[in-house]
Structure 1
Amino acid sequence: MHIHQLSVTYLPEQDRILMRINTTDGEEMRIWLTRRLMVGLWPLLSRMLTDHLLKLDSAGAAIDTADEELKKMLADFRKEEFLRQADFDTPYKEAQETRLPLGEEPLLVTDVDATPLPAGPLRLAFNERPASGSAPRSFQMEMEPKLMQGLMHLLEQALTQSGWRDPFMAAPVHEEAAADEDASGSRRPRYLN
């Protein structure tokens, strides 16, 4: 499978991220990424991509002995270099005759197997293992580090839109809270419905 384009969009009405992969053969894979999945997947992919970029660097032997701050700086430099070369301006091409090998309904990803390959690409296997009696679905793709960094950039934009990366905040205290106290100073019960 040769990837032609990637699209990553947060859909608030679904509270999911829809990732679409368009191939040069006119196929489109559609997958749902949930918050629960991304909580574990995002740090894993970030760490794997950083480690993989450092191993592919021509100064690999010197990098192995470098401190963590230098490794992070080198990896960030490589990531920025990839992003400068990436094309984020060309809109995702909606084809009239797109074949959907996974079916009309996007794959609801329950787990991802990520493997760095020695030759350079990263292999990602997206799996849907439904709890019901439905047959499991999956597909895998190999991505060069440059394309993988582009995917990470698109995922980061979707995560920012979703607000999933923001910590859970405590509810703000309103002035009405003081009005909820009765004359004895104890709080009256409050109901939502």
Structure 2
Amino acid sequence: MNIHQVSVSYVLEQDRLLIRINGKEGGELRAWLTRRLALGLMPVLNKTAGEQMAKVAGAGPSAASLEDKRQQMVSAFEKEASLRKGDFETPYQTQASAPADVPVGPEPLLLTEVKITLMGNGQLRLQMFEKFPGQDSSRNFQIMMDAPLSNGLLQLLHQGLQQSRWLEAPLAMTAATDLAPAGLTGAPDTEAAELSAETSKPRYLN
């Protein structure tokens, strides 16, 4: 799939992040990301995206601490520069159906497993699975991302986490239990975060 745009939005009623990806040839992939999987995904994706940036920049591993710090500074600079290439202003264009070459059906996948692989050519492969006990088959799809796109996705996921307030969940849940009537909570910002993209060993999350 040749990715054109990516959108990440928090849906209050589902208490999930909705990832939407549309292609330049049309069609849209959709997936629900739960709190558990999102919080597990972020550090792994962040680390792998950093390795991807270093690989693209031609930086190799070094045992010297000073060199490690220098590479971290370079990686941070390049990450910021790659984000500036992303278009976070263009509205996301919703597509009516999934791409013809991806047999996932019209309903979003409820992700139960994510496989992240940094490929030899510097591309990052994300494989997303919906697997339930007792089912013979599962729905899945994969996307390939260059460094600017993977860092753009990270930015969108960070924004989605801020909208969800999941990082504040322990405090918020305590306050809601002690002070608020059942079923009444503050409404987080539900505005979608969006991105237009013009442009080892696998890691598993389940």
Give the TM bin, normalised by the shorter chain. 0.7 to 0.9
| 1:154 counterpart = 2:156 | yes
Amino acid paired to 2:35 = R
| Greater RCO, 1 or 2 (C-alpha within 8 Å, sep 6+) | 2
> Does the 8 Å contact 2:110/2:130 carry over to 1?
yes
What secondary structure, in the 3-state scheme, does the structure 2 residue paired with 1:105 have? coil
CA contact (8 A) 1:3 1:24 kept: yes
Contact kept in structure 1, 2:114 and 2:126, CA below 8 Å? yes
Q: Secondary structure at the match of 1:166?
A: helix
Matches of 1:134 and 1:19, distance apart in 2: 25
In the alignment, what sits opposite 1:126?
128
Distance 2:10 2:36 in 1: 14
Could you state the TM-score of these two structures normalised by the residue count of structure 1?
0.80
- Could you tell me which residue of structure 1 aligns to residue 72 of structure 2? 72
Tell me how far 1:77 sits from its aligned partner. 0.8
Asked whether the 8 Å contact 2:50–2:75 carries over to 1, the reply is: yes
Single out whichever of 131-140 and 3-12 deviates more from structure 2.
Answer: 131-140
Which residue does the alignment assign to 1:180? none
Assess, with a 3 A threshold, how the Cα gap between structure 1 residues 69 and 153 changes in structure 2: closer, same or farther: same
State the Cα deviation string for residues 76-126 of structure 1 (Å, max 9, x = none). 11110011111011000124x544542121001101110001111100100
Alpha-carbon contact 1:123-1:142 (below 8 Å) kept: yes
RMSD of aligned alpha carbons = 2.2
Distance in 1 of aligned mates of 2:11 and 2:134: 25
Q: CA deviation at 1:71?
A: 3.0
Give distance in 2, aligned partners of 1:169 and 1:53: 35
* Equivalent pairs, count: 171
Letter in structure 1 aligned against 2:90: T
2:130 touches 2:139 (CA, 8 Å); kept in 1?
A: yes
User: Structure 2: which 5+ runs fail to align?
Assistant: 183-206
State the identity as a percent: 41
Q: Deviations over 1:142-182 (max 9, x none)?
A: 1001111111111110011111223623846xxx9xxxxxx
How much does 1:72 deviate?
2.6
1:26 has 2:26 as partner: yes
Structure 1 match to 2:54: 54
Partner of 2:110: 108
* Aligned-pair CA distance for 1:65: 4.2
Larger gyration radius, structure 1 or structure 2 = 1
Report the Cα offset of residue 134 of structure 1: 6.2
- 1:104, 1:98 → 2: CA distance? 6
* Residues 30, 102 of structure 1: 8 Å contact kept: no
CA contact (8 A) 2:28 2:94 kept: no
Q: Which amino acid aligns with 1:42?
A: M
